[in-house]
Structure 1
Amino acid sequence: MPLRRRWQKGSGRRSNGSGPVAQVRLIQSTALPALFRSPARSRPGSVNNFDSYLICTTPRSGSTLLYQLLAATGCAGKPDSYFHAPILEEWMAYYDLDRSAFPDTKSTLRAIFAEAIHQRKAATDIFGLRLQGKSRAFFLQQLRSLYPTAGDDLARLKATFGEVCFVYLNRRNKLEQAISIVKAEQTGLWHRNADGTELERLTPPADPVYDPIAIARYMAELEEGDAAWRDWFAAQQITPHIIHYEQLENDPIGALTDVLYLLGIDPARGAEFTPATDKLADSTNREWARRFLADHPTH
């Protein structure tokens, strides 16, 4: 759930003045191939003309924290996973659309995307979307149905959402990421507010039980998920803005203002916020990691 705070001023987007395109400093990852290693950059004062941004990620990488911070600025739309389920009817229900009102699939898809952009810009100049790796195939398939003659996925995304900024959010420590998933699935609690109240619970409370098989399985799936994102970026010749979970965890406001710079939004709009979500990792996570490493020293 995005934060509720709203700004009463304008959108916060910078005017389209002259000068070099705004760039941001990025965190390097020795685990990524050269295409995805972003050198440190200065922060010139002009703007990038993006109509939308896509947060590309895998589960438990900090994307909820990031999109909540972006929404809270009041000038970066209201990003979320609007096309998460691989079911077109669920997309339509989310926007209160009646499929019988449209003659074919193309007109249905046009209506869905138009309504998503209209609603989730939230009176700002930009649309934001979080896309999990497992949602990517169905989402792109719908774009291919809508624009069958477009040259590639990037062309289809631009035809739908205008100029797109790509943010790649991943987590270096796959063991901790896998443990986070297993524990959330077992306990039912996926996100908690900073005040300790529950933000997202999917199943009734239950005690966590150490499960090394599930942890190992998720580690492999997460590695595959990151590789699939990298392959897709390479195929589309996209160089995304990279944020690692560890960077976001240590300096959430710094990560936020980096993204605002990249989008051409005044970074001061993100300087005064505090994270609204609380970390769920605790002594249980640390103990599971210790046990797993003891039993699987090669990890």
Structure 2
Amino acid sequence: MTGYEKTLDWPLYEGRPKPYLLATTPRSGSTFLSHLLWQTGCLGAPLEYLNFEATGPFGSANGLPDRQAAVWEHVVAHRTSPNGIFGMKAFPLQMEVLGSQNPSLLTRTMRFLLGKGHGSRVVQLRRRDEIAHAISLARASLSGIWRAEQEHGEDPDPIYSAHMVNRARRELAAQDEAWAQMCREMGITPLVLWYEDVVASPTDAVAAVADYLSVALDPAAEIEVPRIRQQSQSGAREWRQQYEGGSD
């Protein structure tokens, strides 16, 4: 399961949700975190609800503004947890694409998520290990393999490229700064989480988000969500050895 199936929806939420944005970048471990938050049953289900890329979760709405708006209406109504919390995960590039293809929906969603008057909340997930992050992005970009479910034993390992790693470092730094700039301009104090800390202590990460959102976690509300499989790291380790050794 991908996590976007309607069978995983909550019943219709009829009140005004309390939203938050999970602001992050590709290959940051954001799917792992989003599923941890979702599993509580109290912190929404912060997935990529504005990802309308052809190969994305809502690829059927690619290039169709009316269908994209319908998707958004559905997820707000059915991915808001019963206590009224709605979360959405996004990357800066996704927002840029939406702005160029469906600006009215981008305006609408940003007003809903971060509009003045209801206490804007942003959880920003980053990675301390910039080299590992860049290698992960570079390898996925070259191979086209972004999830463990896409891996097959016979898949060839992408050819090492220091150029791609350096480009990925620049891209990721720019995306992190884009979120930081947005928060500065809007006067938002985000909760910054680090991937390494989330992996080391998932319970503490979830508790930090709940505290930031002023949400009381109820163990009785916990639900089953699709499991996240970690991708193989063997090739990434070899890339790091070459990169730190100065290989081209």
Q: Which interval holds the TM-score relative to the shorter structure? A: 0.7 to 0.9
| Match among 86, 90, 96 for residue 137 of structure 1 | 96
Q: Does 1:229 align with 2:179?
A: yes
User: Compared with structure 1, are the counterparts of its residues 127 and 201 closer, same or farther at alpha carbon in structure 2 (3 Å cutoff)?
Assistant: farther
User: Compared with structure 1, are the counterparts of its residues 2 and 128 closer, same or farther at alpha carbon in structure 2 (3 Å cutoff)?
Assistant: same
CA distance in 1, matches of 2:163, 2:214: 45
User: Compared with structure 1, are the counterparts of its residues 181 and 129 closer, same or farther at alpha carbon in structure 2 (3 Å cutoff)?
Assistant: same
**Letter of the aligned partner of 1:219 in structure 2?**
R
Which runs of structure 2 are paired with 1:114-193 in the superposition (5 Å)? 114-121=73-80, 123-139=82-98, 145=104, 157-159=113-115, 163-192=119-148
* Corresponding residue number in structure 1 for 2:29: 62
CA distance in 2, matches of 1:98, 1:147: 11
| Match among 71, 75, 81 for residue 38 of structure 2 | 71
Length, aligned pairs only? 235
Determine which structure has more spread, i.e. the larger CA radius of gyration: 1
* Corresponding residue number in structure 2 for 1:18: none
With the length of structure 1 as denominator, give the TM-score of the two structures. Answer: 0.63
1:236 to partner: Cα distance: 1.1
* Corresponding residue number in structure 2 for 1:286: 237
With the length of structure 2 as denominator, give the TM-score of the two structures. Answer: 0.74
Report which of the two has the higher share of helix.
2
Q: Secondary structure at the match of 1:129?
A: strand
Contact 2:23 2:90 in 1 (8 A): yes
Contact 1:50 1:263 in 2 (8 A): no
User: Compared with structure 1, are the counterparts of its residues 209 and 264 closer, same or farther at alpha carbon in structure 2 (3 Å cutoff)?
Assistant: same
Q: Which runs of 5+ in 1 are unaligned?
A: 12-48, 101-107, 193-197
* Corresponding residue number in structure 2 for 1:27: none
Contact 1:120 1:127 in 2 (8 A): yes
CA deviations 1:14-58 (Å, max 9, x no partner) are xxxxxxxxxxxxxxxxxxxxxxxxxxxxxxxxxxx9701110011
CA RMSD of aligned residues (A): 4.3
Q: Secondary structure at the match of 1:233?
A: helix
Q: Which runs of 5+ in 2 are unaligned?
A: none
CA distance in 2, matches of 1:259, 1:173: 22
Moved over 6 A (4+): 141-144, 270-275
Q: Secondary structure at the match of 1:209?
A: coil
User: Compared with structure 1, are the counterparts of its residues 255 and 52 closer, same or farther at alpha carbon in structure 2 (3 Å cutoff)?
Assistant: same
Contact 1:147 1:156 in 2 (8 A): no
* Corresponding residue number in structure 2 for 1:208: 158
CA deviations 1:152-190 (Å, max 9, x no partner) are x97564459954421011112221111112222344432
1:263 to partner: Cα distance: 2.2
Q: Secondary structure at the match of 1:253?
A: helix
Identical pairs, percent: 27
